[in-house]
C-alpha cells in the first residue's frame, strides 16, 4: 500500500507532534512559535519548517489557560443592520490591528436580557476587555462588568454613569442642538418620526433633548409617529405621508435616524413637496448613504469611527486610562445639508 504524503489527521496536532518532528523540546517549539526568548537561528528554522509541513495550528485554549492571557476583546452591540455599528467596528478593528488583540462581536438586538446573556457568555472566555454599547444594563450585567477585573468601555452615549470608562456623545445635547438650529432657521411647526423601540435609549435621549429645547423656545411638537421593524426607508416614506396627510401645516420633520429621513425625503420629492422650501427635514447619524440622495437632509455625525478608535485605545492601554469614571465626550458636528438655511 502506497504511503499517502500528508493524510488529514484525525486528531488535531499538538506541540508534541512538532517537537518530535523537529527533534526539539516542546518548550523550545513553543518559544519559536511565539517569538519569545532566545532561540538559535538553526533550531528556529527547523521548528518552523516542521510546523508548516505538518500544518500545525496552535491550541489557544490551552495557551490561554496556561498563560492566563486571552487576546480577545468582547464587543457588544445592539445590531449589525443599523449601518452605525459596522463603522464603529471598523474603528475598533483598525486600532486593535497592531496590538495583538482581536475583537469578538456579540449582538443583542436591543434586548437587555439578551445583552446579559451575551455578556455572560463572552466573559466566560475571559477576554482582555469589554466594549459595550450604551450605559443602560440590567443590574446583573452591571455587576458582571464591575467584577470582571478588566477594562470596560461603554460607548456611543455619555448621558449616565459608566461602570468604568465611557466614550461617546451626549444624545440629549445632540437633540437640543438640532432643535436650536431648526428654530434658528425659522421653522415653527415641527413633527417627529422615530422608532418605537423602548430600549433604544439613545434615540429616546435625543428626543428628550429636542423637546426640551423646543419648550425653552415656547414650542412643542405638533405631531409624532413611531414605527418598528421593516425596511427603514419604506417606513420613512409611509410615516411621512401619513403624517403630512394628518398634519398638513407642518414645516419641519425631525427623524430619529437618517434612513427613515431618507425615505421621507424621497417621498417628498416624488410628491413634489419642495425641500427645503415648503418643508425642512433632519435625521441623525451622518450616514454615507445620504451623499447619494438628490438633496441633503440635515443630520448630525455621531463620531462613530472616533468612538471605536478611542474605545479600542483605552482597552489596548494606548491611552492613559484615568481609572474609574473616565468619560470621553466627543462633539458631533451638525451638518445643515440643504434643508437648514442659515
Footprint of DNA on this chain (CB under 7 A)?
11-16, 24-28, 30-31, 33-34, 36-40, 42-44, 58-59, 62-63, 65-69
Smallest separation, CB 128 to DNA (Å): 13
The least distance separating DNA from the CB of residue 98, rounded to whole angstroms, comes to: 20
CA dihedral 76, 77, 79, 84 (to 10 degrees): -140
- Cα–Cα distance for residue pair 226/114, rounded to 1 Å: 24
Min dist CB 123 to DNA, Å, is: 12
124 scored as a contact of a copy of itself (CB under 8 A): yes
Judged by CB under 8 A, the residue of 27, 80, 215, 331 near a copy of itself is 80
Of these partners, DNA, a copy of itself, none, which one is at the site of residue 292 (CB under 5 to 8 Å by kind)?
a copy of itself
Residue 336's closest CA among 296, 291, 289?
A: 296
Minimum distance, C-beta of residue 124 to a copy of itself, in the bound complex (Å)? 4
Residues 280/185, Cβ–Cβ less than 8 Å: yes
Residue 35 partner contact from DNA, a copy of itself, none using kind-dependent CB cut-offs of 5 to 8 Å: none
- Map the footprint of a copy of itself across residues 258-297, applying CB under 8 A: 262-263, 266, 269-270, 288-289, 291-294
For residue 37, the partner it binds in a copy of itself, DNA, none, with Cβ less than 5 to 8 A by kind, is DNA
Under 8 Å between Cβ of 250 and 157: no
Contact between 36 and a copy of itself by CB under 8 A: the answer reads no
Q: Within 13 Å and on the Cβ side, how many CA atoms surround 132? A: 31
Residue 252, strand partner residues: 190, 280
User: Cα(315)–Cα(319) distance, rounded to whole angstroms?
Assistant: 8
In angstroms, the CA 127 to CA 101 distance is 10
Residue 127 contact partner, candidates a copy of itself, DNA, none, CB within 5 to 8 A by sort of partner: none
Q: Is 98 in the site for a copy of itself (CB under 8 A)?
A: no
From the list DNA, a copy of itself, none, pick the one residue 36 interacts with, judged by a Cβ distance below 5 to 8 Å according to partner type: DNA
**311 lies in the binding site for a copy of itself (CB under 8 A):** no
Strand extents, DSSP E, the chain: 72-77, 102-107, 129-133, 152-157, 165-169, 190-195, 223-227, 252-255, 280-282, 299-300, 327-329, 334-335
Cis peptide before 239 (omega within 30 of 0): no
CB of 149 to a copy of itself, least distance (A): 6
Which letter, b or e, does each residue of 104-117 get, where b requires 16 or more Cβ atoms within 10 Å of its Cβ?
Answer: ebbbbebeeebbbe
Subset of residues 209 to 248 that bind a copy of itself, contact rule: CB under 8 A: 231-237
What does the binding site for a copy of itself look like in residue numbers (CB under 8 A)? 8-12, 55, 57-62, 64-65, 70, 80-81, 83, 86-87, 89-90, 93, 102, 104-105, 107, 120-121, 123-126, 143-144, 146-149, 231-237, 262-263, 266, 269-270, 288-289, 291-294
Amino acid at each position: 500500500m502506497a504511503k499517502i504524503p500528508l493524510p488529514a489527521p484525525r486528531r488535531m496536532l499538538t506541540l508534541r507532534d512538532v517537537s518530535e518532528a523537529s527533534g526539539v523540546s516542546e518548550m523550545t517549539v513553543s518559544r519559536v512559535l511565539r517569538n519569545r526568548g532566545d532561540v538559535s537561528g538553526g533550531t528556529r528554522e527547523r521548528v518552523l519548517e516542521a510546523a508548516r509541513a505538518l500544518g500545525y495550528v496552535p491550541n489557544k485554549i490551552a495557551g490561554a489557560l496556561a498563560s492566563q492571557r486571552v487576546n480577545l476583546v468582547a464587543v457588544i452591540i445592539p445590531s449589525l443592520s443599523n449601518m452605525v455599528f459596522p463603522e464603529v467596528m471598523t474603528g475598533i478593528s483598525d486600532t486593535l490591528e497592531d496590538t495583538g488583540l482581536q475583537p469578538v462581536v456579540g449582538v443583542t438586538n436591543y434586548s437587555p436580557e439578551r445583552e446579559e446573556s451575551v455578556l455572560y457568555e463572552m466573559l466566560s472566555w475571559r477576554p482582555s476587555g469589554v466594549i459595550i454599547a450604551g450605559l443602560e444594563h440590567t443590574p446583573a450585567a452591571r455587576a458582571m462588568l464591575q467584577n470582571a477585573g478588566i477594562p470596560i468601555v461603554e460607548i456611543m452615549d455619555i448621558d449616565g454613569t459608566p461602570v468604568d470608562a465611557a466614550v461617546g456623545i451626549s444624545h440629549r445635547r445632540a437633540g437640543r442642538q438640532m432643535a436650536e438650529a431648526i428654530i434658528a432657521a425659522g421653522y415653527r411647526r415641527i413633527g417627529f418620526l422615530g422608532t418605537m423601540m423602548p430600549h433604544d435609549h439613545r434615540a429616546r435621549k435625543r428626543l428628550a433633548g429636542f423637546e426640551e429645547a423646543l419648550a425653552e423656545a415656547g414650542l412643542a411638537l405638533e405631531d409624532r409617529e413611531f414605527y418598528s421593524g421593516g425596511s427603514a426607508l419604506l417606513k420613512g416614506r409611509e410615516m411621512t405621508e401619513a403624517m403630512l396627510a394628518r398634519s398638513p401645516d407642518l414645516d419641519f420633520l425631525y427623524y430619529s435616524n437618517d434612513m427613515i429621513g431618507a425615505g421621507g425625503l424621497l417621498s417628498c420629492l416624488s410628491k413634489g413637496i419642495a425641500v427645503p422650501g415648503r418643508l425642512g427635514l433632519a435625521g441623525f447619524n451622518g450616514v454615507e448613504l445620504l451623499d447619494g440622495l438628490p438633496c441633503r437632509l440635515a443630520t448630525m455625525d455621531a463620531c462613530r469611527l472616533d468612538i471605536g478608535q478611542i474605545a479600542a485605545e483605552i482597552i489596548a492601554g494606548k491611552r492613559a486610562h484615568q481609572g474609574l469614571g473616565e468619560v470621553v465626550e466627543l462633539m458631533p458636528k451638525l451638518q445643515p445639508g440643504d434643508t437648514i438655511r442659515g
